[in-house]
Amino acid sequence: MLKRLVVAIDGPAGSGKSTSAKLVAQKLGFLYIDTGAMYRAITFLAIKNNVLQNNDAIIELAKNSGLDLEFTNGETHVSANGLDITDKIRTQEVNVNVSDISKIEGVRKALVDRQRELAKKNIGVVMEGRDIGTVVFPNADVKIFLTASIDQRAIRRTKEYEEKGVHISLEEIKANIQQRDTIDSTRDVSPLVKAPDAIVIDTSNISIKEQVDVILNLVQQVVHKKE
Ligand code: DC
């Protein structure tokens, strides 16, 4: 019988976080939480409400949008006050604006509170993002920091869009990822940094199975120690 366990997976866009986090959660029967989807949801709502330039209004959205995440059929379904917005959060317009929205301290505070609340739903959680091991769960049982070369990351994201029938050029995707990396890692509040006790896995040249196995082994080691 497992005791409560949190696996934190951080890293830049396209480093393999979602792919491995989903599979690790599935193998362990844990709850999977994609925190990027929440920042994307607030960005979509800010665009829709035409308040991209109004931080106070965006913070209100983060506090009062009743964000919910449900992971079904291999996909995170996002809703705001009961309305499904899953299809709206991965557009290029959201890609371009999401890092600026993520810099706002009040937005982060509201979403981190919600992330901690969502995590209570299960005995085991795999949460992925940029600040999970540093801010959201600094005492997480397993902390992973995934990296990969920029070219690999851009190729992966381009393929993901192609599979969904969305055609965005490799160059455009690469430029967006680079821009987001810069903003995400240099912002004042909860920047994307490796937690001192996180284990780095470079996924540029390893298979998905290998990434997942490394993480599962780390989780098993922690479980044995706890027993
Ligand atoms: O994981 P993603 O690419 O869907 O995340 C979208 C953006 O959300 C990312 O560029 C920065 C922000 N984000 C964040 O600031 N903190 C998190 N924990 C997760 C995502």
- State pTM to two decimals: 0.95
Going by C-alpha positions, the residue among 165, 143, 128 that lies closest to residue 31 is 128
Nearest Cα to 168, choosing from 86, 78, 96, 100? 96
Q: What is the pLDDT of residues 172-183, one digit of tens each?
A: 999 999 999 999
Domain range for 132: 5-226
- How far, in Å, is the centroid of ligand 1 from the Cα of 220? 28
User: How many structural domains is the chain composed of?
Assistant: 1
Confidence of residue 4 (pLDDT cuts 50, 70, 90): confident
Q: What is the pLDDT of residue 226?
A: 76
Query: Separation of 225 CA from ligand 1 center, angstroms?
Result: 32
**How many residues are there in the chain?**
227
**Ligand 1 atom closest to residue 17's alpha carbon, by position in its atom list:** 1
| Cβ of 13 below 6 Å from ligand 1 | yes
The pLDDT tens digits for 51-103 are 999 999 999 999 999 999 999 988 899 999 999 999 999 999 999 999 999 99
Ligand 1 near 176 CB (within 6 A): no
Q: How far is the CA of 119 from the centre of ligand 1 (A)?
A: 17
- Residues 150-163 have pLDDT tens digits of 999 999 999 999 99
Predicted confidence at residue 3, as pLDDT, reads: 63
CATH of the domain at 208: 3.40.50.300
Residue 1: pLDDT over 70? no
